[in-house]
Chain A
Amino acid sequence: MALAATGLRAQPAAPVDSAPLPLYQFEAALTHDDNVTRGRSAGEIRSDQSLSVRLSRDWSMLVNPSTRVILTGVGGGEAWRRHSRLGRGFVEAQGMLEYRGSGAFSAPTFAAFARVSGEAYRSTLRSGHRYALGGIVSAALTDRIFALASVSHEGHVARSDVFSGRSNAARLNLDYALTDRATLYASAEYRRGDATASGRISLENIDISKSFVDDDAFSAAALKTYRFEAETVIAVIGCNVGLGPNSSIDLSWRRAETRPTTGLPFASDVPGRYVANQFVIAVLRRF
């Protein structure tokens, strides 16, 4: 989603007393995921659709004319059509410290954030908590283009060791305002660290895995999910169209390609990576 729509954009700290910002944001999204298992070969790949909702509230506090703190509370849930045990509920809290040195148009905003969340899945393996620490720099490049770059470290502690892990990520995002109401956006993210995939027991999967578990979310397919060291490139393109002063609809395509960093010591005809595409349509409202 466009940063302007999601609130992920680090908001300029000055001037702080411009028009009041809405406190709440509500999202409802339909997603089609063509590889919900994150499988590498045809027999491992399953697609599915989900419906998710998310409600967040911001609390903003000015520290000084250049610095402010934004606290965000989020709650939400997600339900999947076929793989119901992927369904989850979550709550999240984020704190962000923003700094903007001047009110000049192109002055960048620097931010540091910390985020914790708790998730309860219908799958007993995945429930746990996540945390993230990171830094953001953002700036308007022109009156139509807004850019954001971030680095982050994320961790996940789940009931199963397979779903626990850590990763580091770097991300670049560009918003391009087509009109007053429509924004095109694109982002690219590089992530390195623990990743999970599901599949059948095979030498290729065993060789790269750190640990395995019989996945209760894919028990019908008798798949095991395994954790491995990987690098992931995520690309997103989307369009956000305003439906009114505080509402918008957002269409996006998210493509993730994950490749193990542990190479196989032999030639294999099993794909060395998995690719997942997500097509999302979301409605957002701020109030």
Chain B
Amino acid sequence: MRNRCRFDARMILVAPALAALLVACGGGDRPQDEVPNRVAPAPAAASGPDSFLLATNPLVQPDGTLQSNTLAYAEAYYAEIDPDNAKDTLDKWKAANRFDEAGGVQVSAVFGDFRDLGYGRRMTGRHNTDDDTIAFVVENYLVNPGSKAYGDTINLDAAIVEDRQWRASINAIEYSPGPGGTVRYAKFYSFDPATGARRLTQDLDSRGEKALPGACIVCHGGRVDPLEPVDAVTGKPRFPLLQNSEAAQRGDTRGRMHAFEVDALTFSDRPGFSRAEQQAALKAMNRMVLCSYPYAGVQPAPLAEDQCRQSDTSGLEWQASAATLIKDGYGGPGLPDATYTEPPVPAGWSNRAALYRDVIAPACRNCHLVRGTGQQSDIDFSTFAKFDGYAARHRYHVFERGNMPLAKVQFDAFWASGMPEQLAAYLQSKGDPALAPTRDAGGALRVPGHPFADPGPSRRVRLGSTVLSARASLFADAHQWTLVSGPNGATPPTGANLSGADTATPTFTAGPAAVNQRYVVELVSSQGSVRSEPARVTLYVDAATDIDPAAIDLARIKTLLGANCVGCHSSTGTPPTAFTAINDELLYSRVRGQANFSDVAGSALLRKPAGNHHGPGSITGFDADKLPGDPDRAGYDEVLNWILGGGKL
């Protein structure tokens, strides 16, 4: 064989070796390939705040589950608003609301809602002008759910072209009378985008499924009240009835429709979908929303845009703070402007215009403005005074707990902006160190997720042993307690001691010498090597034998309610919750629902009688500014210890 035909095995070995060498020389880190999720993956465990779209009082049950986030809660809701399942599919719901029928007003718009939920949204609103029922259905588009967002315009594009592989959900709100009723109120639905079946849960933020209607109404002004005991007929718990609801129906959560704040929406430059091209539709939608807002009292000479509004003859309903936003957005009464413009800073905020414009309007207003009742509307933040009344809660919810802003997209945007510093500056300006948000060593505000120590409110404790608890601490898995001072500030303290100081539940033991003395206990909670700021609690040792939390039961609370609350909270009263003319089982569910076991100090059962945003102001015996043991806060201590004892029946 000639030379050219020889098989040179060495070359066959050399070539792959050279190839391997070249490949190895590619260098660099492994590239970050992205695979778009067609279906939202299971949410990863959150290491920081993860209470988005849950009520601030989510109704912690004895087993630790959140009643407002259970299927039972959703089932009870739909059993009330649709007992015959006449609207258990999207098609049936649309038919019931007369979508696509002749008559009435029906308009659609497509926009990006990147301030709140991050969706591209295809919204259709319908106003049946013969009975002034109103309904909105929205298809929500989210590209690559649960992972990296590809930018605002992508979700909007998906909504515009109706790219249904990215249609994450279909939500609907219907403003109509409930079964057998005449008074219209808002009802909330979600439908499966693939099957059209009504859903009991929805994952609105890729943080996992949350039960309806809670996931919707927490930002739509609705109340989250506890279910009532199991009904003898159905064998299931019933959805609560709000005592002062004009509709007097169990499905009326007081939820409302949001105004379309057009400046907060984003639009496409695709033909037909620009802001200018959709202004008319959006105005028509805002007219519909306005129609769904109650009108206080009887309208003597209603303007055209108000003629469809329902009179609130009792004056107990939400007083439609957001109606002003819509009207002012279109130039005032009569809605003269064709296009929406962000209204001027309200008069009640004129002294804090920058705070309103830069923080409240973009981060708080949307949810808060649809809250409140005719009797108490501080929570709508429509004036600075109302907002300022919640200063301590702002610090807690925004800077410590991290459940405000309430939606993940908005929370992230908030912390990526200058808003936290502006809010912190306001809190610091109040001059109370307890209100100033914590900062790291470099002076930067701490984003929620940093360990937060919460030893609970100061309280009366009994002679002998009392178990303390760090369960309310946040983002921490280790705790260190210290008995800081004793009688009259004495250090080291005498007459009492602390055992199990490195546990979540240490025992404070007070001897006879401690009676009628106050002790200060400090808690530092930590996650790994990251420690919280210390938090202190004052314990007043009382010789009384009846203050063991485990010994306080509903009967004792019922006595307190009878003495202090039922004058208003009665079956004929005007507050939303009545404590009379009901059996103890129902009373227990209602009273327990006013306790917040995830934030004891934030319990309505403590804050309301203490004078916080409470119609009649403070109630004798509930002066939380007094130290434990003071007779002026005896009622407060009693209720507090009942809650700390788990809310015994």
> Which residues in A have their C-beta under 8 angstroms from that of B4?
20-21, 23, 58-60
Chain A positions 121-157 with a Cβ under 8 Å from a chain B Cβ = 121, 124-129
A120 to B25, CA, bound (A): 7
User: Quick check: B161 and A124 within 8 Å, CB to CB?
Assistant: no
Chain B positions 6-62 with a Cβ under 8 Å from a chain A Cβ = 6-8, 11-12, 14-16, 18-23, 25-36
> A78 within 8 Å of B by Cβ?
no
A202 to B6, CA, bound (A): 55
> Which residues in B have their C-beta under 8 angstroms from that of A23?
4
User: Quick check: B26 and A267 within 8 Å, CB to CB?
Assistant: no
> B162 within 8 Å of A by Cβ?
yes
Known contacts A129-B19, A129-B23, A212-B33; is-contact A59 B150 (Cβ 8 Å): no
> A81 within 8 Å of B by Cβ?
no
Q: How far is the CB of B12 from the nearest CB of chain A, in Å?
A: 6
> B82 within 8 Å of A by Cβ?
no
Q: How far is the CB of B141 from the nearest CB of chain A, in Å?
A: 10
A43 to B3, CA, bound (A): 55
> A211 within 8 Å of B by Cβ?
yes
> B165 within 8 Å of A by Cβ?
yes
> B581 within 8 Å of A by Cβ?
no
Binds B, one of A34-42, A87-95, A174-182, A231-239: A87-95
Does more than half of chain A's interface fall in helix, strand or loop, or is it mixed?
Answer: strand
> Which residues in A have their C-beta under 8 angstroms from that of B18?
75, 91, 118
Q: How far is the CB of A178 from the nearest CB of chain B, in Å?
A: 30
A203 to B270, CA, bound (A): 13
Q: How far is the CB of B54 from the nearest CB of chain A, in Å?
A: 31
A157 to B392, CA, bound (A): 58
Binds B, one of A4-12, A97-105, A159-167: A159-167
A75 to B25, CA, bound (A): 16
Q: How far is the CB of A184 from the nearest CB of chain B, in Å?
A: 30
A121 to B22, CA, bound (A): 9
> Which residues in B have their C-beta under 8 angstroms from that of A128?
23, 26
A-B CB contacts (within 8 Å), total count? 134
User: Quick check: B23 and A127 within 8 Å, CB to CB?
Assistant: yes
User: Quick check: B163 and A266 within 8 Å, CB to CB?
Assistant: yes
Known contacts A120-B23, A124-B31; is-contact A206 B8 (Cβ 8 Å): no
Contact of B157 among A159, A202, A267 (CB under 8 A): A202
A155 to B67, CA, bound (A): 54
Known contacts A20-B2, A212-B36; is-contact A93 B23 (Cβ 8 Å): no
> Which residues in B have their C-beta under 8 angstroms from that of A160?
31, 33
User: Quick check: B23 and A118 within 8 Å, CB to CB?
Assistant: yes
> Which residues in B have their C-beta under 8 angstroms from that of A69?
7
> A119 within 8 Å of B by Cβ?
yes
Interface size range of chain B in the complex = 35 or more
A125 to B31, CA, bound (A): 6
> A82 within 8 Å of B by Cβ?
no
> Which residues in A have their C-beta under 8 angstroms from that of B36?
206, 209, 211-212
A17 to B2, CA, bound (A): 9
Q: How far is the CB of A132 from the nearest CB of chain B, in Å?
A: 14
A117 to B150, CA, bound (A): 35
Chain B positions 348-367 with a Cβ under 8 Å from a chain A Cβ = none
Per-position 1/0 for B456-486, Cβ under 8 A of A: 0000000000000000000000000000000
User: Quick check: B33 and A211 within 8 Å, CB to CB?
Assistant: yes
Q: Which residue of A lies closest to B162 (CB)?
A: A266
Known contacts A120-B23, A162-B33, A203-B154; is-contact A61 B5 (Cβ 8 Å): yes
Q: How far is the CB of B166 from the nearest CB of chain A, in Å?
A: 8
Contact of B33 among A59, A161, A207 (CB under 8 A): A161
> Which residues in B have their C-beta under 8 angstroms from that of A213?
31-34
> Which residues in A have their C-beta under 8 angstroms from that of B8?
59
Q: How far is the CB of B167 from the nearest CB of chain A, in Å?
A: 11
> Which residues in A have their C-beta under 8 angstroms from that of B34?
211-213
A187 to B157, CA, bound (A): 40
> B158 within 8 Å of A by Cβ?
yes
Q: Which residue of A lies closest to B270 (CB)?
A: A269
User: Quick check: B32 and A90 within 8 Å, CB to CB?
Assistant: no
Known contacts A62-B1, A206-B150, A213-B33; is-contact A73 B11 (Cβ 8 Å): yes
User: Quick check: A71 and B23 within 8 Å, CB to CB?
Assistant: no
> A112 within 8 Å of B by Cβ?
no
> Which residues in B have their C-beta under 8 angstroms from that of A125?
31
- Output the residue of B2, B6, B25, B36 with the most chain A CB within 10 A: B36
> Which residues in B have their C-beta under 8 angstroms from that of A203?
143, 154, 157-158, 161, 163
> B133 within 8 Å of A by Cβ?
no
A49 to B34, CA, bound (A): 30
Per-position 1/0 for B325-351, Cβ under 8 A of A: 000000000000000000000000000
> Which residues in B have their C-beta under 8 angstroms from that of A89?
22
A284 to B77, CA, bound (A): 80
Per-position 1/0 for A177-212, Cβ under 8 A of B: 000000000000000000000000111001101111
Chain A positions 222-252 with a Cβ under 8 Å from a chain B Cβ = none
Q: Which residue of A lies closest to B164 (CB)?
A: A265
> Which residues in A have their C-beta under 8 angstroms from that of B7?
59, 61, 69, 71
> A48 within 8 Å of B by Cβ?
no
A75 to B8, CA, bound (A): 17
> Which residues in A have their C-beta under 8 angstroms from that of B16?
93, 116, 118
User: Quick check: B163 and A120 within 8 Å, CB to CB?
Assistant: no
User: Quick check: B32 and A214 within 8 Å, CB to CB?
Assistant: yes
> Which residues in B have their C-beta under 8 angstroms from that of A92?
15, 19
Q: How far is the CB of A160 from the nearest CB of chain B, in Å?
A: 4
> B176 within 8 Å of A by Cβ?
no
A126 to B22, CA, bound (A): 12
> B124 within 8 Å of A by Cβ?
no
Per-position 1/0 for A255-278, Cβ under 8 A of B: 000000000111110000000000
Known: A127-B25, A201-B154. 17 other contacts (CB 8 A): A59-B5, A59-B11, A61-B6, A69-B7, A71-B12, A73-B14, A118-B18, A118-B21, A118-B23, A124-B26, A159-B30, A160-B31, A161-B35, A202-B157, A206-B154, A211-B35, A265-B165
4 nearest CB pairs, A to B: A118-B19, A127-B26, A124-B28, A120-B22
A selection of 23 A-B contacts at a CB cut-off of 8 Å is A59-B8, A59-B11, A61-B7, A73-B11, A89-B22, A117-B19, A118-B18, A120-B23, A121-B26, A124-B26, A127-B23, A127-B25, A129-B23, A159-B26, A159-B31, A160-B33, A202-B154, A202-B157, A206-B154, A207-B163, A213-B33, A265-B163, A266-B161
